[in-house]
Structure 1
Amino acid sequence: MGWLTMPFTSMGGHASAKAYLDDQFTYSRAVEGGTAGLRVLASACPLNRTYYAAAQVMTNGTGGEIFAIVCKVLWNPNSKTGEQFGYKDMTETMGPCEDHCPKTILTLLSPTDNEHARDWRRRCAANLARRARTVADGDRIRLAAPLSFTDGHVGQEFIVEKRGRRLSFRAPDAHGRYRITRFMELDWQIVPVTKVHKTIFA
């Protein structure tokens, strides 16, 4: 489907993208033989950019298959054209490029044989695993590919400098410190360091 855009006044009083989309994807309508619809069991919309939801198929009030809905979100409060909010909805069977679905939603989904959905779930799981990694102050890390910085430095290995939750990176042979955007989502590994222990003579 394409994009659906609107002013905030058309959001039915909902103050956030998450609240509006939860309402849009939770519904019940009369069909021959009873009712059919969807129910959002869990959802998230980090920074109003991408909406992820676990939606359950409802038939005559009984819950069935649970699948993922993904929406690209437009959030532009200062729009001069009135397109302050918009979204483009997809299901996981369409293999969305957006693959940072929270674990709390992935764990609710029903098993599927759809290859596009299975690939999307694998990508989401891989991203979760990357973000779950930890580094300590002083660790030496090696990126899968070199990075270039505005001062002209090109580097692939760095020493981690950790101050609380803030990370900076120092080139092993230089004094410059660098920021690496979305570091936890990149491919990298910790370089083992051989520690030499002092010999103690009796």
Structure 2
Amino acid sequence: MGWLFMPRGSMGGHATAKAYLDNQFTYERAEDDGSSRGVKVLASSCPGNRVYYAATQVMTNGQGGEIFAIVCLVRWNPRAKDGYIFGYKDMEESMGPCETDCPASILDLLTPTDKEYALDWRARCRANLERRARRLADGDRIRLPEPMKFSDGNVLQEFIIAKRGRRVILRDPQTGGHYRISRLMDRPWTIVPTTKVLKTLFG
């Protein structure tokens, strides 16, 4: 499905992108044979009004079945000059979305699947969560998988962590020069083990 844009008046009274999409993906329809089918959003998240993630359950005759993920790209601009403040593009996890910031609380609700693209997407989301759960301490030494070239011409692969409150500064182990890498916690890196020398006291 392509992008769908709308003015606020077409949002059915919903004040946010998340509220609109929760409603959009929760419905029940009567079938010709008297049965009913639909889907129900169990949990959702739309951080920064950029990407919407939802755990959505298939409903048959009021009974819950498979739970799969829906991912929507979101455009939210309350000041849009043409009045079309909200747009979205929806897809299922089986389509292999590139967006992989789905919260663990939503991933944990999904039922097992054998769909290759869905499995790959879930694995990429979990890998993202694991990377972001890593902790850095002041003085840690980290190593990137490949050397990185900076604007001053230096090419570096290892850095010493210097923490300044919530800020993380990377120091060149040789010169002490300061560097910054965008989205550091989303990137692959490893902590370089250091050998600590313990003092021995003799009585």
Pairwise TM-score range, normalised by the shorter structure: over 0.9
Give structure 1 regions of 4+ aligned residues with deviation exceeding 4 angstroms: none
**TM-score (norm. length: structure 1):** 0.93
Counterpart of 2:22 in structure 1 is: 22
Report what 1:173 is aligned to.
174
In 2, distance between residues paired with 1:183 and 1:173? 21
Partner-residue secondary structure (3-state), 2:129: helix
Gaps of 5+ in 1: none
Q: Does 1:11 align with 2:11?
A: yes
**1:75 and 2:88 correspond:** no
- The two structures, once aligned, show a CA RMSD in angstroms of 1.5
Aligned equivalents of 1:143, 1:10: Cα separation in 2: 48
Q: Following the alignment from structure 2 to structure 1, what is the Cα–Cα distance between the partners of residues 121 and 160?
A: 33
- Shift of the 193–52 alpha-carbon distance from structure 1 to 2, 3 Å rule, reads same
- 1:196 and 2:171 correspond: no
CA distance in 1, matches of 2:80, 2:177: 40
Looking at structure 2, the residues matched to 14 and 177 of structure 1 have their Cα atoms a distance apart, in angstroms, of 47
Q: Distance in 1 between matches of 2:36 and 2:192?
A: 58
**CA spacing shift, 1:47–1:113, aligned 2, 3 Å:** same
Name the count of aligned residue pairs: 202
Once residues 133 and 5 of structure 2 are traced to their aligned partners in structure 1, the CA distance between those partners, rounded to angstroms, is 35
| Cα distance between partner residues in 2 of 1:182 and 1:53 | 24
Give the fraction of aligned pairs with identical amino acids, expressed as a percent.
Answer: 66
C-alpha deviation, 1:166, in angstroms: 2.4
Query: Given the two structures, how large is their TM-score scaled by the length of structure 2?
Result: 0.93
CA deviation vs aligned residue, 1:123-152 (integer Å, no higher than 9, x gap)? 111111111111111000001122333333
Higher mean displacement: 169-178 or 56-65: 169-178
| Structure 2 residue identity aligned to 1:6 | M
Question: Does the residue aligned with 1:93 lie in a helix, a strand or coil?
Answer: helix
String of CA shifts for 1:168-194, please: whole Å, max 9, x gaps. Answer: 211111233222211111010000111
